[in-house]
Amino acid sequence: MAHRPRDLFSQQESNRRKSSWLLLGFVFFFAWIGFGGDIGLYLLQSGATSGYHHTIPWLGILATAGAAAMAWAAWRHGDRQVLWSTRAMELINPVTDEQVRLVNVATEMSIASGLPMPRLWIVPDSDPNAFATGRDPQSASIAVTEGLLETLDRDELQAVLAHEFAHIARYDTRLMTLVAAIVGAITLLSDGVGRILFQSRRVGGRAAGFGGGGRRGGGGRSAAGALVIVVWLLTLIVAPLVSRMLAMAISRKREFLADATAAQYTRNPAALISALEKCENARGPTLSVGRGAAHLCIVDPADRRFQKYKGLIGDVMASHPSLQERVLRLRQMMGSVAVAA
């Protein structure tokens, strides 16, 4: 166990670097979308003798500036956006027995983990689930659904909160919250451009200046422009899927680490196994959590069928590792915890 602090610090530093690279890649993606469109328009219109000529790269300028603003907002307010999207309500004054128990258990886990007490939130959803978000441990929040408080006993709730504290300790919350904000922004961009293109086709008019007016040569440039536009459109089509797959891959790797750390905090892997099984076997999805934030939750809030598959299907479609694999690893820890005790 002597190596654990150094390992924790290395993972924190790794998540900080990945967060920075993620934001940089996000800005570059939007810059390509903007300036790629500018290049395509310019090349397509290179042979036109009249009509609109696209010479100022206003698409690239606007897209890059917008991406920088969204990256800053995701960094500063990404956790608030996630909580707002789930309709979560902050727990200020606990009223019910379940809420009092939540505060007491969270206080215990704060002491056990050595982390500041996070803000607690209740998500109005009957499906048992939980997630953590925040830029750092000082600004962290943990949200649990009403269904989780009603479904789990005290030991199981402690195990779930320990899992979320583990995400906070490793700065997983920063990276995963940024991913959630970026996935949402890319999806909105793709949907918005798709609607614009669809409406343009319905109107039947040409895009502004697309070869409008007479032509004077420029056939090679026009062909290059068409190629750029095709690549540009393919990027918009594929980007939402790629970004979701990235979010899922990030989540799957970190769930195993959080499970292991939770077992170390509580010395009770069996409680986490029981909690995971109850969450997994719930009847319906967590409707309050959108697909873009699925990787934040302790179990997939959407369709959990794909978690049963290993290999390509599970890797592409599931945001979390399979329950069987998580339980197997926790059962293996039960022996080592018993020996350590």
pTM of the model: 0.72
Averaged over 18-31, what is the pLDDT?
A: 74
For residues 104 and 329, the model is more confident at 104
β-strand 130-133 against 119-123: which pairing, if any? unpaired
pLDDT of residue 300: 84
pLDDT of residue 278: 93
What's the CA gap between 290 and 292, in Å, rounded?
5
Contact 177, 140 (CB under 8 A): no
First-to-final CA distance of the chain: 13
Q: Give the pLDDT band (50/70/90) at residue 334.
A: confident
Q: What is the pLDDT of residues 234-286, one digit of tens each?
A: 877 777 777 777 766 666 778 888 998 999 899 999 999 999 999 988 867 88
pLDDT of 102 > 90? The answer is yes
pLDDT of residue 146: 96
pLDDT of residue 281: 84
β-strand 130-133 against 141-145: which pairing, if any? antiparallel
Contact 330, 263 (CB under 8 A): yes
161's tokens: 């909160």
Q: Mind giving me the DSSP string for 167-228?
A: HHHTTHHHHHHHHHHHHHHHHHHHHHHHHHHHHHHHHTPPPTTSS-S-B-S-HHHHHHHHHH
- Whose CA is closest to 247, among 214, 292, 216? 292
Backbone phi, then psi, for 89, in 5-degree steps? -120, 130
Give the chain's domains with CATH numbers.
12-85+184-235 (no CATH), 89-174+248-340 (3.30.2010.10)
Would you name the residues annotated as active-site residues?
A: 164
- Whose CA is closest to 170, among 203, 196, 132? 132
Contact 159, 125 (CB under 8 A): no
Backbone phi, then psi, for 335, in 5-degree steps? -65, -45
What's the CA gap between 254 and 269, in Å, rounded?
17
What's the CA gap between 68 and 74, in Å, rounded?
10
How many other β-carbons are positioned within 10 Å of the β-carbon of residue 234? 10
Q: What is the pLDDT of residues 48-77, one digit of tens each?
A: 555 556 677 877 888 788 878 877 777 777
Q: What is the pLDDT of residues 182-229, one digit of tens each?
A: 777 777 666 666 666 555 555 544 444 444 444 444 556 667 767 777
**The one-letter amino acid at 205:** G
- Whose CA is closest to 102, among 147, 144, 140, 137? 144
Q: What is the pLDDT of residues 292-323, one digit of tens each?
A: 677 788 988 875 555 555 555 555 556 678 88
Q: Which of 39-43, 158-162, 198-202, 250-254 has the highest mean pLDDT?
A: 158-162
- Whose CA is closest to 97, among 153, 36, 57, 31? 153
**The one-letter amino acid at 331:** R
